[in-house]
Structure 1
């Protein structure tokens, strides 16, 4: 049943004066809406994805800086390589969490 169905039944039970049925519907809806707790594994994976996204943003900024030539190219290339290596490591960690053999 959808949430709307529960609410319709809840209101109908109220119009009938059936508080026991309303309580039962409220409990069922609460169970349906309850969010399962997040595991440590899910938190770790989310943190890896966040870092992966930040690395991509940093790389984008570095490539823009390289294109404009506003900073030394050698230093920028070193930063790019370091970020690419870190991104590869993070990708491997993400993949190892998704693929369990």
Structure 2
């Protein structure tokens, strides 16, 4: 697991523990038990969150690519066109890596 994933998992656990403490302060034992069960299923919950984050990155890359395609369409400067194409290519490679992670 890389550092980004570790941070996501740790943040998720911290959030759950905060909720557990709140449930305890409120005296809500049913909620406390639900949170404990959620923590037992940590892998499933954190995996879902990581996939959601990856999809957000994927969407962000697509938006940036559309922006670059718009700039390409308007540009007549050959140097600028080459730079924009290189940026699009880099984003395509990033998108491929994101899809590989999503499909894991």
Structure 1 residues without counterparts, runs of 5 or longer: 1-30, 97-101
Alignment partner of 1:47 is 2:53: yes
Higher Rg: 1
List aligned pairs for 1:22-61, cutoff 5 A. 39-61=45-67
Secondary structure at the aligned position of 1:39 is classed as helix
Structure 1 residue ranges (4+ consecutive) displaced by more than 3 angstroms after TM superposition: none
* TM-score computed with the length of structure 2 as normaliser: 0.54
Cα-to-partner distance string for 1:12-71 (whole Å, 9 max, x where unaligned): xxxxxxxxxxxxxxxxxxx9xx9x958111111000000000000000000000000076
Aligned residue in 1 for 2:87: 79
* Distance of aligned partners of 1:41 and 1:75 in 2 relative to their CA distance in 1, 3 Å threshold: same
What CA deviation, in whole Å up to 9, does each residue of 1:55-98 have, x standing for no partner? 000000000000000760011011000000000000011111xx
**TM-score normalised by L of structure 1:** 0.56
- Higher percent of residues as helix: 2
In structure 2, runs of 5+ residues without a counterpart are 1-30, 39-43
Answer yes or no: is 1:62 the counterpart of 2:73.
no
